[in-house]
Structure formats: structure tokens, C-alpha cells
Amino acid sequence: MQNRMMNFVPPVSRDRVISQFPKCYNPQACLQMKDDWNSKAKTACKERLAKHQGWDRLKMSKAVVVGDLNVGKTCLINRFCKDAFDRDYKATIGVDFEIERFELSGLPYSLQIWDTAGQEKFKCIASAYYRGAQVIVIVFDMADINTLEHTRQWLVEALRENEPNACFIFLVGTKRDLLSAEELKRTEKDAVKMAAEMNAEFWSVSAKTGENVQEFFFRVAALAFEDAILKELEDESSPSRVGRGELLDLRYTVRIQARPAVTGTPGETQADTFSRVGVSFKAALPLAVERQAVMGRYLHRCG
């Protein structure tokens, strides 16, 4: 009975089923131009489905959302996750997160969406959560052009905690409902230039009206999912060999500040891994906190 309860996976809601590969917003600032799934990934998904097999590991990617205060990060996430919009500004303190479950190519997939504080005084808390992101979403307010200028610095800070080539970068302009058609055209042109400089994909959205919000998150989920599948296939075809021929299951690999990557072996706890390589578990605390935060909710909002 207990076993059955533990294996129960609630169904994905119908509006989170992604069957067509989502398109980019503007072909001039687009991470991938193709209009269908990668053929290798597609075949792998079909095979797993036919065998009634899921993926060995839970497919979950982490997206961190950064940008100046008041640009609309929380509203963007709330529009997608709760279909709600709040006119009043309530600063995020530290971090907040949501987990959204999708079905892509018939397989389950979850996206952790980390909402961070834009206020300078909370940056030290928020930046501890940047690490391990597959997706970096940099948000600016299209009605306040200074916030576009600041996106360069946000990217530098987010990449400091991540492998530059391991992340998809999205540049998102919010509050498009506040701009005239002429202003929108001008601002989008500037944003496309910035996105090209950052190697990012540009999106223009409104959390107030909901315009392009779902399309944006579907695109994020699809690119991250496909990338996760391809990486899994790569891992399966070339398991790392260490020592006297033992096979290493790459369960988790974490970076601890200036140290090289530390890789866990099967059956080992994170604490064991760190003591084996001579790193105090305390040094890895932000990661442990992050794990706990995923299990329980870690909401910090001021009213």
C-alpha cells in the first residue's frame, strides 16, 4: 500500500502538455531555428514510451530568473504558474520558487523556476541559488530602458555560478502593454541587439495581459527538456571509467566555489562525497539548502 502511494505520480494538467515544438519569438534573436524536436531525442522518447519506460532519473531542470527590482520577474512567473496578476509591488526577499510539471513528447518533465530578488540588499542571498541552472532568464522592463542596460551585469553574475556553455540564456522584456506600437518597435530592436551580444533568445511579454507568457515558458521547457534528453543519451553511451575499471554513475556533479567539480558515486551521500575529497560539508551548504528548499517551500515575501 505504502509502495503504491510512493509510486503515484499525479497527472500533468492538460494545459501543460506540449505536443508541437514551440517556436521562438523573433528569428533575429533565437537560440534554435528548427521547428521540430531533434530526431535523436524524438526516437529516444518514442522508444521509452513504447517500452513503458520512464527515464532513470527524474527529468527536472532549473531555471533562474534575474533582473533589476520592479521589472516584473515575480509577476511573469505568477502569470504562468497561477494565472494571476498583482498590480501592487511586493519586493521578493531572497528567493522564491515554483515547480511546473509538463508532458513533452509523452514523457513527464518538471521545471524548477527560481524567482530571485532584484534589490541590491538581497543579492547575496539570491546569488547562492544561481548555481546549477540549465536556463538563465534575464528580465528587463521595456518601459524603463535603463533596466536593459543592466542586463549585461546580471548575466555576468549568473554565469559566475554556472558553466557558460551549459546554460540557455533568455532575455525577456516585460510590460509590453505599457508601450505604444512605435515604442515597442524601438525597444525590441535594442533588445534584439543586446540578445545577440549575450547569445540569448529574446522574448517580449506582458504579465498583465498574459501576452506571450505561456509561449515563452513552453519554449524554455522544450529547449531544456530536449537538452536533458540528449545529455542523458550521451551519458548512457559513454559512462565514465575511473580507477580499476569501476563504472561511475554520474548522479550529481557540483561545483563548490573555486574547487574543481566533485562527482558523487552510487550509494554515496553528498556528505560522504565531500569528506572523500576533503571538502567540509559546510562548504556545500547552499546546495544542501537548495535541496531542502525543493522539498518544502521556502517562501520569502514581504507584505
Ligand X SMILES: Nc1nc2c(ncn2[C@@H]2O[C@H](COP(=O)(O)OP(=O)(O)OP(=O)(O)O)[C@@H](O)[C@H]2O)c(=O)[nH]1
- Binding residues vs ligand X (CB under 6 A): 69-75, 86-92, 117-119, 174-175, 177-178, 206-208
Rank residues 30 and 91 by Cβ distance to ligand X and give the closer one.
91
Rank residues 70 and 263 by Cβ distance to ligand X and give the closer one.
70
Provide the minimum distance between the beta carbon of 225 and Mg ion in the complex, in angstroms, as a whole number. Answer: 26
CA angle 239, 242, 248 (to 5 degrees): 45
Provide the minimum distance between the beta carbon of 147 and ligand X in the complex, in angstroms, as a whole number. Answer: 9
Cα–Cα distance for residue pair 161/169, rounded to 1 Å: 14
Number of residues that bind Mg ion (CB under 5 A): 3
Provide the minimum distance between the beta carbon of 25 and ligand X in the complex, in angstroms, as a whole number. Answer: 15
| Beta strand pairing call for 168-174 and 201-204 | parallel
User: What is the footprint of Mg ion within residues 28-87 (CB under 5 A)?
Assistant: 73-74
Binding residue for Mg ion, selected from 92, 112, 204, 273, defined by CB under 5 A: 92
| Residue 72's binding partner out of ligand X, Mg ion, none, with CB under 5 to 8 Å set by partner kind | ligand X
CA angle 168, 170, 171 (to 5 degrees): 155
Which of these, 131, 211, 201, lies nearest to 170 by C-alpha position? 201
| Residue partners of 171: CB distance under 8 A and separation at least 6 | 29, 138, 140, 151, 191, 194, 195, 198, 200, 201, 202, 203
Cα–Cα distance for residue pair 95/122, rounded to 1 Å: 9
Provide the minimum distance between the beta carbon of 153 and Mg ion in the complex, in angstroms, as a whole number. Answer: 18
Provide the minimum distance between the beta carbon of 124 and ligand X in the complex, in angstroms, as a whole number. Answer: 14
Provide the minimum distance between the beta carbon of 196 and Mg ion in the complex, in angstroms, as a whole number. Answer: 27
| Residue partners of 12: CB distance under 8 A and separation at least 6 | 101, 102, 103, 108
The contact mask relative to Mg ion for 161-200 (x = CB under 5 A, - = no) is ----------------------------------------
User: Residue 181 in contact with residue 171, Cβ under 8 Å?
Assistant: no
CB-hemisphere CA count at 13 Å for 92? 28
User: What is the footprint of Mg ion within residues 120-159 (CB under 5 A)?
Assistant: none
Cα–Cα distance for residue pair 82/97, rounded to 1 Å: 12
Residues lying near Mg ion in the complex (CB under 5 A) are found at 73-74, 92
